[in-house]
């Protein structure tokens, strides 16, 4: 159990202790795991199937966007990109960030240059 001995505010936080050797080099496998984690967490978009460069100004996801965003979307579509929708729910950010940090710590713990001294992120 953690006991807080310093100043406490209304904000929520968790701390962890991480030890590293040398410059903390991460293996290619570890880097790939970290990239995969970030891609799954933040870039796992829901592709908008019914959007085209012709209907983009009428599409619900672009209806209230400014002209520069609409033009960027049209250009992306014309260059063969798919547009996906994502969001950040700030009311849940505390839990999602804690979960993400926990997963990062698990990945680092499997690296030879890192060890977790205290990875308990719960209060």
Asked whether the predicted pLDDT for residue 10 surpasses 60, the reply is: no
* Per-residue pLDDT at 4: 53
Cα-based distances in Å from 91 to 11, 88, 101, 104 = 13, 9, 17, 22
Asked whether the predicted pLDDT for residue 1 surpasses 60, the reply is: no
The pair phi, psi for residue 43, each rounded to 5°, is -115, 10
Span 40-66, pLDDT tens digits: 887 777 888 899 999 999 999 998 999
pTM score of the predicted model: 0.64
């Amino acid at each position: 159990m953690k006991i807080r001995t310093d100043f406490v505010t209304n904000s929520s936080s968790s701390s962890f202790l991480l030890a590293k050797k040398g410059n903390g080099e991460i293996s290619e496998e570890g880097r790939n795991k970290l990239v995969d984690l970030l891609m799954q967490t933040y870039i796992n978009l829901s592709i908008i199937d019914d959007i085209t460069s012709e209907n983009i100004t009428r599409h619900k996801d672009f209806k209230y966007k400014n002209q520069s965003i609409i033009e960027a979307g049209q250009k992306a579509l014309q260059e063969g990109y798919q547009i996906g929708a994502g969001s950040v729910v700030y009311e849940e950010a505390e839990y999602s960030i804690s979960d993400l940090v926990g997963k990062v710590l698990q990945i680092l713990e499997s690296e030879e240059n890192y060890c977790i001294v205290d990875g308990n992120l719960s209060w």
